[in-house]
Structures are given as structure tokens and as C-alpha cells.
Amino acid sequence: MAPRPYWKGYLRLSLVSCPVALYPATSEREKVRFNQINRQTGHRIRYLKVDADTGEEVESDDIVKGYEVAKGQYVEITEDELDAVEIDSSRTIDIERFVPRDEIDSLYNVRPYYIAPEGDVGQDAFATIREAIAATKMVAIGRLVLTTREHMIAIDPRGKGLMGTLLRYPYEVRDEAEYFDDIPNVKVDKEMLDLAQHIVDTKRGHFEPDKFKDRYEEALKDVIKRKAKGEKIEAAPREQPSNVINLMDALRRSVEAEGGSGRKPKSTATRSRKTTKTAKTTKTAKRSPPRRTAAKRTRKAG
């Protein structure tokens, strides 16, 4: 069964457009979900929507949206009135500009969507827009409306389709200065930095998401399975991380724990000096003329 699209509309690049559909690119459906139940009866808890003043339950048909304009005073907004808020991005993703990928701060990324052509009409236009974006080696920026909100969206090619990533507005991103300004300017000791870099080198690798394991999710499923069998579940004592008293000692022990020799790794400066010295020696050896033997000098003199 084909997945249901989250949004349908048009993708437009200037005067070229085509029908498209958006599909969520990620899912958390496989994660463990809990229901709230009554401990006494084992039945699920059902929440009732009640009037905040009267305490009486309100039928679903009588519940509408409202915006608070003053304390306790609301303007009622119906679904028909929300539909009247029509702008171009309500039905069309209009590509406005192209920007370098590395200029998009990861703080602005919200969530990804797959963008695919909708129906047989416009397949050529879709492919043309996709290849045009790919040729720029940049990211297309457009707008669209989802759940009564307009969002900026970054679009780039992915396989035979496109991937669109919703972006946050600047007012949604907190200023890092509020959290970082009080961090003191610490000058890191050269030897400690060399040790830390040595640890980093032992952990180098490639991004391989297929090797990611949600260990908590697996352990949670195991606990649920054991509990269903009637086993008693008890938390094992947790080992508390020791307080770092001597940072240099902790770094050295970390090097040993990561399979190092326990010796201090050579600093970058030391390696550079050694390399430079070797290069100079080799260069000098190449320039020096070959030394004549004593026998050759004697024959030449005779």
C-alpha cells in the first residue's frame, strides 16, 4: 500500500511548475508507546474535554478555535475562516532563491520530507526542476503552508526525487550568547591538547547510521517482555562517573584505555620539526657532489 501524502500542491520554479506530494521522511512509529491505565482496574484512562468554568463535558461539535485578545476574551475562528487565509504558499512551493548548503546553520533545520511528483502529469517538469537544482550544487529555498502555518523549506535532490527540510524562522532560534557568554576563556595546555587529540584519532571513523543501535529502546522492550512473563524487575546499581581531579592524569589514563601505549603522543610541533629536519637532510644529500676515493685521486694526479 502506497504511503499517504502529508501535503499535495505544486512545485514552481519561475514559470515551470508540476504537481507534487510531500511525505514525512522519518517515522517514530516503531518506538515503544505507553498508555495510561487505572491501576485498580487495568482499564485505559480517557480524558474528557470540559468547560473550564462550569466543569461540564463539552461535545466535540461545540469545540472551536479561539484567540485570546484580552484576559478571558476570545475571538472565535472557524475552519472556513482559516481556509480563507489564502496565500500562494498554501498550494504552491515557490522556489525563491538558491543558497550554498554550508550557509544553512543546522539550528534552523526542523524535519525532512520527501517530495515526489503527484500523478503522471508533470513528470518532465519535475525532472527538469530536480536537475536544475542539482546543476547549481546549491540548495533551493521556498515556502509552503502546513497545518495553518507558513514555513520556509530547503530543497535539494535526493535520488530520483527531492528532499525538503522545513526551516525555523530567526525568532524561533535562541541566541547562543545567553548560554555561552559566561564560559571563561581557558587556554588549554599544549600537552593536554595533544593527549586529547590522540584520543580523538583513536576514535576516527565514518558515518554509518546502519550501525546505530537504540540501546535504551532494546532494553525497554526486554523489560516489558520480562514483566509480561511475571518476572520481578529491579534496577541494577548504577556506576557513578568519578570526579576528575587531575585532568592530565585522566587524559593519560584515557589514552591507555583507548589502546594507546601509555606514552605521551608526539606533539604536532615535534612532528613538524622532525619532518623538516629529515627533508633538509635529504635535500642537502642530493646537492652534495659524490666523494672521490683515494685511488681515483692518485690516478688523476699521475
Tens digits of per-residue pLDDT, 96-132?
999 999 999 999 999 999 999 998 888 999 999 999 9
Residue 265: pLDDT above 60? no
What is the chain's mean pLDDT, rounded?
82
Helix boundaries (H) for 181-228 = 190-202, 215-228
Of the pLDDT bands very low, low, confident and very high (cuts 50, 70, 90), residue 201 is confident
Span 44-89, pLDDT tens digits? 998 889 998 898 999 988 998 998 988 888 998 887 777 777 666 6
Same-domain pairing of 15 and 100? yes
301 assigned to some structural domain? no
On whether both 17 and 146 belong to a single domain, the answer is: yes
pLDDT bucket at 13, cuts 50 / 70 / 90: very high
Band of pLDDT at residue 284, cut at 50, 70 and 90 = very low
In this structure, the answer to whether residues 123 and 256 fall within a common structural domain is no
| Region of residue 14 (left: phi > 0; alpha: psi -120 to 50; beta: else) | left
Statement to judge: residues 192 and 106 lie in one domain = no
Q: Is the pLDDT of residue 276 over 50?
A: no
**What pLDDT sits at residue 87?**
62
pLDDT band at 272 (very low <50, low <70, confident <90, very high): very low
Same domain for 136 and 251: no
pLDDT at residue 162, rounded to an integer: 97
The domain that holds 118 is classified in CATH as 2.40.290.10
22/123 same-domain check:
yes
Q: How many domains does the chain have?
A: 2
Across residues 145-151, what is the average pLDDT?
A: 85
Q: What is the mean pLDDT of residues 134-148?
A: 91
Q: Are residues 109 and 191 in the same domain?
A: no
Same domain, 116 and 21: yes
Q: Report the pLDDT value the prediction gives residue 165, as an integer from 0 to 100.
A: 97
55, part of any domain: no
Query: Does the pLDDT at position 9 exceed 70?
Result: yes
Is the domain of 23 the same as that of 166?
A: yes
Question: Does 111 or 286 have the greater pLDDT score?
Answer: 111
* Rounded Cα–Cα distance for residues 151 and 145 (Å): 6
The boundaries of the domain holding residue 199 are 184-203+246-270
**Which runs of consecutive H residues, i.e. helices, occur in the chain?**
79-83, 123-136, 177-180, 190-202, 215-228, 247-257, 268-287, 294-301
Assess if residue 42 is contained within a domain.
Answer: no
Q: Which helix (H) or strand (E) element contains residue 12?
A: strand 7-13
Looking at residue 147, its pLDDT comes to 77
Residues 142, 17 within the same domain: yes
Residues 189 and 120 both lie in one domain: no
Indicate if 126 and 192 belong to the same structural domain.
no
H helices of 163-264, where?
Answer: 177-180, 190-202, 215-228, 247-257
Residue 83's region, left for phi above 0, alpha for psi from -120 to 50, else beta, is alpha
Whose CA is closest to 109, among 197, 27, 172? 172
Residue 193 predicted with pLDDT over 50: yes
* Residue 112, strand partner residues: 165
Q: How far apart (Å, rounded) are the C-alpha atoms in residues 29 and 107? A: 25
Phi, psi of 230 (to 5 degrees): 95, 5
**Which residues does 50 contact at the CB level (< 8 Å), separation at least 6?**
56, 57, 58
pLDDT at residue 99, rounded to an integer: 96
